[in-house]
Amino acid sequence: MTFAQIVIAFLIVYLCAYALINRVCQCIEHCATARAYSRFRENGVLVKMDDVKAGIKKSNKEKENVKEIK
């Protein structure tokens, strides 16, 4: 194998691994949003999915700020 073939093979493997990890992360985020949305609906609160996503992001930022203070 030549150096160019090794570099191309490495790039292909890297892109495949990146795409797989990105897909898994998106799935985890979507599942968390769906769970939060269902909890709101169970409690009788009508909200939009965008509001739930914003609330999750805000909650995560607050948790990060608390960790930094400690």
| Whole-prediction pTM | 0.55
Taking a C-beta distance cutoff of 8 angstroms, is the pair 40, 52 a contact? yes
Could you report the per-residue pLDDT of 8-50, keeping only the tens digit for each? Answer: 999 999 999 999 999 999 999 889 888 887 887 787 776 777 7
Report DSSP state, residue 43. Answer: T
Angstrom distance (rounded) from CA 13 to CA 35: 33
C-alpha 69, offset from chain centre: 24
| Amino acid at residue number 64 | E
